[in-house]
Structure 1
Amino acid sequence: MSARVLHVAKVAGISGAESHLLLLLPGLRERGFDVRLVMLHEDEPGARDFASQLEEAGVPVERLRLPRALDPQAFARLVRFVRHVRPAILHTHLVHADFHGLPAGRLARVPVLVSTKHGFNPFRGNRAFAAADRAVARLADVHVAISAGLARYLAESERFDEADFEIVHYGIEPGPSPPPLPGAPRLAIVGRLIPIKGHEVLLRALATVGGDLPEATLEIAGDGPLEQELRAGVVRLGLDDRVSFLGRVAPATPVFERAEIVVVPSFGEGFGMVALEAMERGRPVIASAVGGLPEIVEAARTGLVVPPGDVQALAAAIGELAKDGSRAAAMGAAGRTRALEEFSQSRCTDRIEALYREALAAAGARRLRRSPHARSSANAASSASTKSQGAR
């Protein structure tokens, strides 16, 4: 194998970042990289499932318990492990991995440090956190953001330099040909039941459009702390017979395939993997104009894009597509083509591989410039050149 690459990630369950790693890491191993993962965790069932899936794909996983956000003992164990493994590249994912992995990599003298930023987080607006995050980020040689929208958000919220980020979109593997749209106004939303996902806005939009589309239904796939509040909202809005709570569904393929339209009404998305998964299944997507979503959903071609939190605009978009089945089907077909051509996993892996090779070449050049032999050779060459000019 070629270069050894150690990824570090904090894992609680399998969502966008973890799904990305489940595709990327085995792909890099197939290309000759000796890829391993240190999984920071709190012994969650989802973390155990993630580690098992990665190991089944041939990627070694070192489990490192992280009992608190910043843990000196876990950090010391990580430094020892990095020194033992001696990777050429250490690549961190998400906040906890950045704060533990980048300093550990620098202490262990790893030649190349890479950091990928994955998402929107409410704490990024905190000035103390932003200052600490920028300070830790200075340790990295390569900065990756999963969308241009995320890079822009980090510049606005934490004062990062947007131009410093390499943009590497998530990728997706093609599934079999999807079934046709059902030809009925069936909506679906997939994701954690948390405020940033915008479920409450969608429920209000569904209630708004209800007079024109009394047959419209909504399936909500996901679990989370807002479930009881959302259920109460369904009752309050008179949507009891039109909204179904499915709980967590993994994989979500059946939910997408039952839907005529998939809605992603988020207030923030680093990328928006649900939109890409829905497009791969040939479904038109109505998405908020935030983060990476407008980079995935091509407005008026593969779906519709609306302002975040705008109930009226979302209701109008739902009505527009739900009443025009042929247009919805055309958008779904265009979405599948776009997903497979513009967001393939091979394209994502190509980009990461190129960044690794460029960074390793730059690190090699730095080592050469710093080595005593290189300096003495350069001095000798300079002296010889001076003598030659004097002889002339």
Structure 2
Amino acid sequence: MSGRVLHVVKVAGISGAENHLLLLLPALRDRGWDVAAVMLHEGEPGAEDFAVRLEADGVPVERVRLSRAFDPRAFARILRRARRDRPDVVHTHLVHADFHGLPAGRLARVPALVSTKHGFNAFRDRKAFATADRAVASLADVHVAISAGLARYLAESEGFDAATFEVVHYGIEAGSEPPPLPGAPRLAIVGRLIPIKGHDVLLRAVARARERLPGLTLEIAGDGELEQELRATAIRLGLGDAVTFLGRVAPVDPVLERAEVVVVPSFGEGFGMVALEAMERGRPVIASAVGGLPEIVDEGRTGLLVPPGDVEALVRAIAELADDPARAAGMGQAGRSRALEGFSQERCTERIAVLYETALAGGERRFRRRSSQARSSANAASNASTKSHGAR
């Protein structure tokens, strides 16, 4: 079975969700689905990069610029597009896309609506946002979470029923055989420089670990609001010659391959794509036991898990692996096998395709039952989402 799918996504840059879509949409097209995308954006350079890459892989992209959190003109464009093209499925990704794409899809009488939740966000604890998000989500026929950990988080923070989510992990494609570990105590962290990623915790842990491993170094790949603060912290901790800030790096494989160990010390991760990318490159991972990370990192076999924010536990884990190259290499090999066997892009694409087929099989029945909800839910989205500007 195949059909026409319109993906609606809000893009500010290319990170986990965007990399997932850059793999998923062309893969769905290759399976026979007629795939197109509407990209909501606010003029960020990374958004254009995303669109260009999708188009290079044969997926047409309509760029729609937002002027506010809920933009009536953007909503109208999506509605016109859905009415004109008559897709079988509208699939939304991230908050802005949900609030624009799900009501538009329902008003356009699209047979099946699918929504994927991708990440942890501080604003999800706000009662007004949670109420609005659940109202808009009620329009979707299929709810996808990228990890069981994220489904539990959404239940705790917003009041969703975790059992209603279909869990579909991100996938990864196999690269060439990775080089061996360097055999030196080198760490790497890849991600935006924002509070939830835990860079400050890692810097403090590195400073402590260097008391035992004076040759320990760290490369930080990424940019963001905390860059100057983190640079100052590194200097204050005496790490000026041990820590290198690389800025935004694409592709990240060279950074991962230079590392003996990749660290993901986040306070929240819907999935944790960096951990999977590191494993595919044959690198052991030290990660926080939060969100989707415990579903990726097999504790003691492909890496180590530590409580989020626990500097002492992170110091012990760093010393344990950085001081034992043989064990680190064994974990790296096991990690690559786990990544390719358990998290293949083929498996991810197959799961999404099956969800589309199942949703379409019952689409007409659902439409008759739920079409009366469309106008009231669209109004709820318009009124409440203005409070969540800047949300992902």
TM-score (norm 1): 0.93
Are 1:318 and 2:351 matched, yes or no?
A: no
**Change in 2 beyond 3 A, CA 1:369/1:199:** closer
Q: How does 1:180-259 map to 2 (within 5 A)?
A: 180-259=180-259
Partner of 2:65: 65
Take 2:45 and 2:26, find their aligned partners in 1: how far apart are those partners? 22
Count of residue pairs the alignment pairs up:
370
**Change in 2 beyond 3 A, CA 1:367/1:78:** closer
Deviations 1:304-340 (A, max 9, x none): 0000000000000000111111110000000000000
For structure 2, the residue ranges without an aligned partner over 5 or more in a row are 371-392
Take 1:299 and 1:199, find their aligned partners in 2: how far apart are those partners? 22
Partner of 2:128: 128
Deviations 1:119-139 (A, max 9, x none): 001100100000000000000
**2:243 partner letter:** V
Take 1:153 and 1:79, find their aligned partners in 2: how far apart are those partners? 31
For structure 1, the residue ranges without an aligned partner over 5 or more in a row are 371-392
Take 1:11 and 1:206, find their aligned partners in 2: how far apart are those partners? 33
Q: CA shift at 1:41, angstroms?
A: 1.0
Take 2:235 and 2:102, find their aligned partners in 1: how far apart are those partners? 48
Partner of 1:75: 75
CA RMSD of aligned residues (A): 1.4
Are 1:6 and 2:6 matched, yes or no?
A: yes
Give SS of 1:62's match: strand
Q: How does 1:1-392 map to 2 (within 5 A)?
A: 2-364=2-364
Take 2:317 and 2:142, find their aligned partners in 1: how far apart are those partners? 40
What is the percent sequence identity of the aligned residues? 76
Deviations 1:131-189 (A, max 9, x none): 00000000000000000000000000001000000000000010000000000000000
Give SS of 2:362's match: helix
**2:215 partner letter:** E
**1:188 partner letter:** A
**Change in 2 beyond 3 A, CA 1:154/1:240:** same
Take 1:194 and 1:216, find their aligned partners in 2: how far apart are those partners? 24
Deviations 1:248-288 (A, max 9, x none): 11011000000000000000000000000000000000000
**1:121 partner letter:** N
Higher-RCO chain (CA-CA 8 Å, sequence separation at least 6): 2
Give SS of 2:218's match: strand
**1:307 partner letter:** P
Give SS of 2:114's match: strand
Partner of 2:389: none
Are the counterparts in 1 of residues 109 and 367 from structure 2 also a CA contact under 8 Å?
no
Take 1:341 and 1:234, find their aligned partners in 2: how far apart are those partners? 38
Structure having the higher Rg: 1
Give SS of 1:19's match: helix
Q: CA shift at 1:369, angstroms?
A: 10
Q: CA shift at 1:104, angstroms?
A: 0.3
Q: CA shift at 1:30, angstroms?
A: 0.7
**1:21 partner letter:** L
